[in-house]
Chains A and B, each alone.
Chain A
Amino acid sequence: MRFEIEIRVTPREGIVDPEGQTIGQALGNLGYSGVHHVKAGRLVRFELDADDTDQARSSVDRMCKELIANPVIERYEVQIRSPETGSP
Chain B
Amino acid sequence: MKIGIVRFPGSNCDQDCHRAVDEGVGAEAVYLWHKSHDLEGCRAILLPGGFSYGDHLRAGAIARFSPIMREVIAFARDGGPVLGICNGFQILCEAGLLPGALVRNDSLRFRSYPVRVRVEQADTPFTSEYEEGDVLRMPIAHGEGQYVADRSAIEALESERRVIFRYVDELGQPTEEANPNGSARNIAGICDEGRRVVGLMPHPERVVSNLLGADGLGVFHSLIGSVRATGDGTATQALEAGDGPAAQAPETPATQAAEAAEASAP
Q: Which A positions have Cβ atoms within 8 angstroms of B?
A: 11-16, 18, 21-22, 65-68, 70-73
Instruction: Please give me the 3 A-B residue pairs with the lowest Cβ-Cβ distance, nearest first.
Output: A71-B258, A71-B261, A18-B108
What distance in Å separates the Cβ of B93 from its nearest Cβ neighbour in chain A? 8
Residues in B lying within 8 Å of A, measured CB to CB: 57-58, 61, 65, 93-94, 99-101, 103-104, 106, 108, 146, 148-150, 182, 250-251, 254-255, 257-258, 260-262, 265-266
Residues of chain B with a CB closer than 8 A to A65's CB? 254-255, 258
How far is it, in angstroms, between the C-alpha of A14 and the C-alpha of B182 when the chains are bound?
A: 12
Asked if B182 and A16 sit within 8 Å, CB to CB, the answer is: yes
Contacts of A72 in B (CB 8 A): 93, 99-101, 148-150, 257, 260-261
Among A21, A22, A66, A71, find the residue whose CB has the most chain B CB atoms closer than 10 A: A71
Chain B residues near A70 (CB-CB < 8 A): 58, 61, 94, 101, 257
Contact of A67 with B101 in the complex, beta carbons under 8 Å: no
Chain A nearest CB, measured from B232 CB (Å): 35
CA distance A81 to B104 in the complex (A): 33
B148 and A15 contacting across the interface, CB-CB below 8 Å: yes
Given A72-B101, A72-B150, 8 further pairs, Cβ under 8 A: A13-B266, A14-B266, A16-B103, A66-B250, A70-B58, A72-B149, A72-B261, A73-B148
Contact B108 A21 (CB under 8 A): yes
Given contacts A15-B103, A73-B103, contact A66 B146 (CB under 8 A): no
Q: Name 28 A/B residue pairs within 8 A (Cβ), A-sorted.
A: A11-B103, A12-B261, A12-B265, A14-B266, A15-B103, A15-B148, A16-B103, A16-B104, A16-B106, A16-B108, A16-B182, A22-B108, A65-B255, A66-B250, A67-B57, A67-B65, A70-B94, A70-B101, A71-B257, A71-B258, A71-B261, A72-B100, A72-B101, A72-B149, A72-B150, A72-B261, A73-B101, A73-B148
Please name all residues of chain B whose beta carbon is closer than 8 Å to the beta carbon of A11 when the two chains form the complex: 103
Collect the chain A residues with CB atoms within 8 Å of residue B260's CB: 72
Given the complex of chains A and B, what is the CA–CA distance between A18 and B182 in angstroms? 13
Closest to A74 in B: B58
**B89 CB → nearest A CB, Å:** 14
Minimum CB–CB distance for A78 against chain B, Å: 14
Distance between A37 CB and nearest chain B CB, rounded to angstroms: 16
B182's closest neighbor in chain A, by CB?
A: A16
State A22–B94 Cα separation when bound (angstroms).
26
Alpha-carbon distance between A31 and B196 when the two chains are bound, in angstroms: 54
> Closest residue of chain A to B108, judged by CB?
A18
Assess whether A66 is in contact with B251, with CB atoms less than 8 Å apart: yes
Complex Cα–Cα for A9 and B33 (A) = 31
Residues of B within 8 A of A14 (CB): 266
Closest to A17 in B: B104
CB neighbours (8 Å) of B106 from chain A are 16
A66 contacts across to B, CB distance below 8 A: 250-251, 254
User: Closest residue of chain B to A25, judged by CB?
Assistant: B108
Q: How far is the CB of B148 from chain A (nearest CB, A)?
A: 6
Bound state CA distance, A65 and B149, in angstroms?
16
